[in-house]
């Protein structure tokens, strides 16, 4: 059974991840202006969340969103890797759990 984590990476029972931190929306990983850019891109349908915990540009928006997608995904990868190392779990599992929780709360953000 996987361990549960609170938003700061503290151990609990089961696996529950702080979505804001894992999705790269925490003030410690992004400026608030950058988070607004991501939120705006999601709301405009220019990017969407994937089930692996990363984002991708929607069709026709790849060129415009490439910088944002790369930056967000790189930051998320670092967070997933850090949490995975501390908890001795696979970073892919951290990303997938983050996406699962986010999809339960905000299914409209996810790619079709």
Residue 58, domain member (yes or no): yes
Residue 10, domain member (yes or no): no
When pLDDT is averaged across residues 25-41 and rounded to a whole number, the result is: 61
Residue 6, domain member (yes or no): no
Domain span at residue 62 reads: 18-109
Q: Which two tokens stand for residue 23?
A: 């999705």
Residue 37, domain member (yes or no): yes
Residues linked to residue 57 through DSSP beta bridges, in sequence order? 47
Residue 1, domain member (yes or no): no
More confident residue, 84 or 25: 84
Q: 35-43: list long-range contacts, CB under 8 Å, 24+ apart.
A: 37/68, 38/68, 38/72, 41/65, 41/68, 42/109
pLDDT band at 68 (very low <50, low <70, confident <90, very high): very high
* Total domains in the fold of the chain: 1
Q: Express each pLDDT in 50-63 by its tens digit.
A: 999 999 999 999 99
pLDDT of residue 89: 96
When pLDDT is averaged across residues 17-37 and rounded to a whole number, the result is: 50
Residue 12, domain member (yes or no): no
- pTM confidence score: 0.72
Residue 7 has pLDDT above 80, yes or no: no
Residue 3, domain member (yes or no): no
Q: CB–CB of 13/4 below 8 Å? A: yes
- Please enumerate in sequence order all residues whose Cβ is within 8 A of that of 98, keeping only pairs 6 or more positions apart, or say none: 17, 19, 22, 23, 53, 76, 80
Residue 47, domain member (yes or no): yes
- Please enumerate in sequence order all residues whose Cβ is within 8 A of that of 96, keeping only pairs 6 or more positions apart, or say none: 51, 52, 53
Q: CB–CB of 52/92 below 8 Å? A: yes
């Amino acid at each position: 059974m996987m361990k549960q984590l609170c938003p700061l990476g503290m151990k609990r029972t089961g696996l529950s991840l702080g979505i804001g931190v894992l999705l790269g929306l925490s003030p410690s990983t992004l400026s608030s202006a950058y988070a607004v850019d991501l939120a705006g891109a999601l709301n405009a349908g220019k990017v969407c969340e994937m089930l692996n915990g990363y984002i991708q540009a929607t069709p026709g928006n790849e060129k415009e969103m490439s910088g944002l997608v790369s930056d967000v995904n790189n930051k998320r990868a670092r967070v997933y890797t850090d949490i995975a190392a501390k908890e001795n779990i696979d970073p892919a599992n951290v990303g997938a759990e983050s996406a699962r929780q986010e999809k339960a709360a905000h299914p409209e953000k996810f790619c079709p």
